[in-house]
């Protein structure tokens, strides 16, 4: 079984990461009733014996050893201590090893150059050492998950630096990035600069990027709350929706009641995406999809690795007599623009490939039936008309009988990127705030123009492919008698 390491950078990255670990523990504890340390748990957690001052690692062995104490395979990086200190004071402090934290005091001031160039140079050795230690404790490391935001300073700057480092030192290990993109009305003025400068690093160094937009998450949370207002106030829901089933809830986790923070429901959704994506690699199923299969199947050209995700169902209804139509509804919803994690409409754009990761009690014939049904309403590029990747994991997510995560390579991302580029150009034309960046050592004005070029080329590639949206398959040339 393979292991993965999660690297969370910056305030946003650490908050999403914190929710991820809470939900991962919740999932494993609801499935692993016997408390045995098996392969599934070892993909994200280490089993340690804390009697020693340097906690000794206990390997999986024959999978029958009991769990003594779990430590997460995580590296927490932040240039200001607030968030990480809160995590270490909170209920999950036992899960993190103090040696896995890298913090500084003053923060990066929403400045990509400070994050990437200054702190990067300063902490390069330490970061490299910490990651190497975490990697050595893995039996067979398969991928890194890097979680960070694009608009801030630490997240975008130091996050993209870490990505660079991982590419250099571990070229064979896949790098999945969950990047939170700033929405149109973002409170950080320099966020377009930070995002575009970081985008170039993502295009060059990441294997797969899952962009997430705050606005989309807010809309999804509102949708869930509308369905059952009592859910928002956390009272017992005698209504329609089963308590603890929404993907935005942290019910059953360690963090309870009053400790919940306002962004938690949004972060839960993003954390659930990571859990569902790795579920097939961790648990058994009829059609396993490993993480390397996701990159290989969904990325037809090297630079076009930006994948749009959506999760359904948002919550499960407490009515016991669930008709089978609901399963079909789940598949249809997955392609509506309200369920995507970025503000984009994939139905009106061109699909290059699409992966359906199904969990729970769903059969192969259901999946095939729904693919045939949806095939006509979705536009796939002509050379990949059947570009579906299906994965079936038998283990259902917590609180729901089945769920579907769609990961799609769709050209609608170029709209998001174009918006980003326009905001960047508006500021760059006037060279506003540039001096904050160029003051930093090693930061040059060419970095800006090169990043803009890289972003433009990615947008152009997607646009060229989208132009083929109405192309039928070219007919093969007839064999000629010479």
Partner 1 sequence: MSGVVLQVGQCGNQIGQHVWETVLKNNDRNNHVFCHFDGKLRSVNVDSEPKVVRTLLKNCKSGKFREGNIILGKRGKGSNWALGYSGSIDNSDVVIQDTMDAHRRETERCDSYSGTIIIHSLSGGTGSGVGSRLCELLRDEYPLAYQLSVCVAPHSTGESPLQHYNCLLCLARLQRYADGIIWFDNDEVMNRLLKATRAPPGGFSNVTLNAMNHHISSALCGVLCPIDSLTPKTGVSLGMEPWELIRSVCPMPANKFIHVNHVSERKSSWIDIAKNATNFLQQRNQDGQHYTSLSNVIVSRGDPTGSFPSHINAIEERIKKCYNTVSWNPYPCDFWIGKRSLSKTDKPSLTIASNYSSVIDLLQRVVNRSQEMYNAGAYLHWYQKYGCDKEYFECAFESVNNVIASYQESILS
According to DSSP, the residues that pair with 70 across neighbouring strands are 47
Q: 86-91 long-range CB contacts below 8 Å, 24 or more apart?
A: 87/14, 87/18, 90/255, 90/259, 91/254, 91/255, 91/259
According to DSSP, the residues that pair with 358 across neighbouring strands are 392, 404
Angle at 466 between CA 179 and CA 307, to 5 degrees: 20
Of 111 and 409, which has the nearer Cβ to partner 1? 409
Q: Could you give the string, one character per residue 213-252, with x where binding to partner 1 holds by CB under 8 A and - elsewhere?
A: ----------------------------------------
Q: Note whether 36 binds partner 1 by CB under 8 A.
A: no
Pick from 85, 286, 329, 438: which binds partner 1 (CB under 8 A)? 286
Asked whether the bond before 313 is cis by omega within 30 degrees of 0, the reply is yes
Which listed range, 71-79, 114-122, 284-292, 435-443, lies at the site for partner 1 (CB under 8 A)?
284-292
Pick from 55, 109, 300, 419: which binds partner 1 (CB under 8 A)? 300
Pick from 14, 100, 130, 142: which binds partner 1 (CB under 8 A)? 142
Least distance to partner 1, CB of residue 159, Å: 25
Of 7 and 281, which has the nearer Cβ to partner 1? 281
Least distance to partner 1, CB of residue 327, Å: 9
- Structural tokens at position 130: 């910490």
Q: What is the dihedral of CA 415, 418, 424, 430, to 10 degrees?
A: -130
Q: Note whether 69 binds partner 1 by CB under 8 A.
A: no
Of 261 and 361, which has the nearer Cβ to partner 1? 361
Torsion-angle region of residue 208: left (phi > 0), alpha (psi -120 to 50) or beta?
Answer: beta
Least distance to partner 1, CB of residue 436, Å: 38
Least distance to partner 1, CB of residue 474, Å: 8
414 class by beta-carbon count within 10 Å (0-12 exposed, 13-18 middle, 19+ buried): buried
Cα of 438 vs its chain's centroid, Å? 31
Least distance to partner 1, CB of residue 290, Å: 4
Least distance to partner 1, CB of residue 1, Å: 6
Q: Could you give the string, one character per residue 375-394, with x where binding to partner 1 holds by CB under 8 A and - elsewhere?
A: x-----xxxxxxxxxx-x--
Of 259 and 284, which has the nearer Cβ to partner 1? 284
Q: Note whether 92 binds partner 1 by CB under 8 A.
A: no
Least distance to partner 1, CB of residue 345, Å: 22
Q: Note whether 205 binds partner 1 by CB under 8 A.
A: no
Pick from 140, 320, 481, 482: which binds partner 1 (CB under 8 A)? 140
Of 239 and 401, which has the nearer Cβ to partner 1? 401
Please give the span between the terminal C-alpha atoms of the chain, in angstroms, as a whole number: 56
Answer positive or negative: Cα dihedral of 312, 318, 320, 323.
negative
Q: Note whether 32 binds partner 1 by CB under 8 A.
A: no
Pick from 320, 473, 481, 482: which binds partner 1 (CB under 8 A)? 473
Q: Could you give the string, one character per residue 146-175, with x where binding to partner 1 holds by CB under 8 A and - elsewhere?
A: --------------------------x---
Q: What is the dihedral of CA 179, 184, 185, 190, to 10 degrees?
A: 70
Pick from 99, 124, 230, 369: which binds partner 1 (CB under 8 A)? 369
Least distance to partner 1, CB of residue 391, Å: 10
Q: Note whether 476 binds partner 1 by CB under 8 A.
A: yes
Pick from 29, 36, 39, 239: which binds partner 1 (CB under 8 A)? 39
Pick from 258, 323, 430, 478: which binds partner 1 (CB under 8 A)? 323
Pick from 298, 396, 420, 459: which binds partner 1 (CB under 8 A)? 298
Distance CA 459, CA 411 (A): 9
Least distance to partner 1, CB of residue 270, Å: 25
Of 36 and 287, which has the nearer Cβ to partner 1? 287
Q: Note whether 324 binds partner 1 by CB under 8 A.
A: yes
The residue ranges that bind partner 1 (CB under 8 A) are 1-2, 39, 139-140, 142, 172, 284, 286-288, 290, 292-293, 295-302, 323-324, 353, 363-366, 368-369, 371-372, 375, 381-390, 392, 473-474, 476
């Amino acid at each position: 079984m393979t292991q993965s390491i999660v690297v969370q950078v910056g305030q946003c990255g650490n908050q999403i990461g914190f929710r991820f670990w809470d939900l991962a523990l919740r999932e494993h504890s609801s499935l692993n009733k016997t408390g045995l340390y098996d392969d599934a748990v070892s993909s994200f957690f280490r089993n340690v014996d804390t009697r020693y001052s340097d906690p000794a690692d206990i390997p999986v062995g024959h999978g029958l050893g009991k769990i003594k104490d779990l430590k997460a395979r995580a590296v927490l990086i932040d240039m200001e201590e607030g968030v990480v200190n809160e995590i270490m004071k909170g209920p999950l402090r036992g899960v993190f090893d103090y040696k896995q934290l890298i913090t500084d005091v003053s923060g990066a001031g929403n400045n990509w150059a400070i994050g990437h160039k200054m702190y990067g140079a300063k902490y390069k050795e330490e970061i490299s050492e910490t990651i190497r230690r975490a990697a050595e404790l893995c039996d067979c490391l398969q991928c890194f998950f890097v979680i960070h935001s694009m608009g801030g300073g630490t997240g975008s700057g130091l996050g993209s630096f870490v990505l660079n480092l991982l590419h250099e030192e571990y070229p064979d290990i896949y790098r999945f990035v969950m990047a939170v993109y700033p929405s149109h009305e973002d409170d950080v003025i320099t966020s377009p600069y930070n995002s575009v400068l970081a985008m170039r690093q993502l295009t060059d160094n990441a294997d797969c990027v899952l962009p997430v937009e705050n606005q989309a998450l807010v809309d999804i949370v509102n949708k869930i709350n509308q369905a059952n207002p009592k859910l928002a106030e956390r009272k017992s829901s005698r209504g329609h929706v089963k308590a603890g089933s929404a993907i935005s809830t942290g019910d059953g986790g360690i963090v309870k009641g009053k400790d919940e923070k306002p962004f938690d429901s949004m972060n839960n959704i993003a954390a659930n995406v990571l859990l569902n994506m790795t579920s097939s690699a961790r648990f058994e199923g009829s059609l396993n999809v490993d993480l390397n299969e996701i990159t290989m199947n969904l990325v037809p050209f090297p630079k076009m690795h930006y994948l749009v995700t959506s999760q359904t169902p948002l919550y499960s209804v407490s009515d016991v007599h669930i008709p089978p139509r609901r399963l079909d509804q789940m598949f249809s919803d997955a392609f509506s623009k309200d369920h995507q994690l970025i503000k984009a409409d994939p139905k009106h754009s061109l699909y290059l490939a699409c992966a359906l990761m199904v969990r729970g009690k769903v059969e192969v014939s259901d999946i095939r039936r729904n693919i045939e049904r949806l095939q006509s309403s979705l536009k796939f590029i002509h050379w990949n008309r059947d570009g579906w990747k299906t994965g079936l994991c038998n283990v259902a997510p917590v609180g729901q009988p089945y769920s579907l995560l769609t990961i799609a390579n769709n050209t609608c991302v170029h709209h998001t990127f174009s918006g980003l580029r326009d905001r960047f150009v508006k500021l760059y034309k006037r060279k506003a705030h540039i001096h904050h960046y160029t003051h930093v050592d090693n930061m040059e004005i060419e970095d800006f123009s090169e990043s803009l070029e890289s972003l433009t080329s990615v947008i152009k590639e997607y646009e060229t492919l989208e132009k083929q949206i109405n192309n039928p398959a070219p007919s093969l040339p007839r064999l000629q008698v010479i």
